[in-house]
Structure 1
């Protein structure tokens, strides 16, 4: 993954979502129309936080987030999500 020239503001975080599952555990191939949006990704960039709330995640953390969290953006052909830190449920 290339370095991205995006710096989120305040409590926002830039996340690269993991790829959607291609197969089920039993080996059945999932068609594109039935794939679930990934809910896991890697933190690429973070903002400075708010005055009273510093950012707790750091670049490189693998995180879990809500299915419909964030805004999808495409930078240099790569898909990312930009979301508030409060949309992140856990660091894994």
Structure 2
């Protein structure tokens, strides 16, 4: 059961956690962490009549830095955005 059912061409994404440290082991403070650009689709709409959805629940995706709207559901932060804001499926 999903937290909510997005409508039309919208998807609900759980962002990947921000990097905690650099490759060399330097810990990144919360104020300097970049917004993650990758996440997992946890819910998806049915698409539009003339535009079926190409992504599905469970897909790992990359999206633009300023894409989507942050929403909180059951104490967790998610992004809701249109499928067009997703750049691609990874992995």
Q: TM-score, normalised by structure 1?
A: 0.95
The corresponding residue for 2:78 is 80
Q: Which runs of 5+ in 1 are unaligned?
A: none
Per-residue deviation, residues 46-92 of structure 1 (Å, max 9, x unmatched) = 00101110000010000000001000000001110000000000100
Q: Equivalents in 2 of 1:45, 1:5: separation in Å? A: 8
Structure 1 residue aligned with 2:24: 26
Using the alignment, how far apart are the partners of 1:53 and 1:80 within structure 2? Answer: 24
Q: Structure 1 residue aligned with 2:7, among 6, 9, 28?
A: 9
Count of paired positions = 90
- The TM-score with structure 2 as length reference comes to 0.96
Measured on the aligned residues, the alpha-carbon RMSD in Å equals: 0.8
Which 5+ residue runs of structure 2 have no aligned equivalent? none
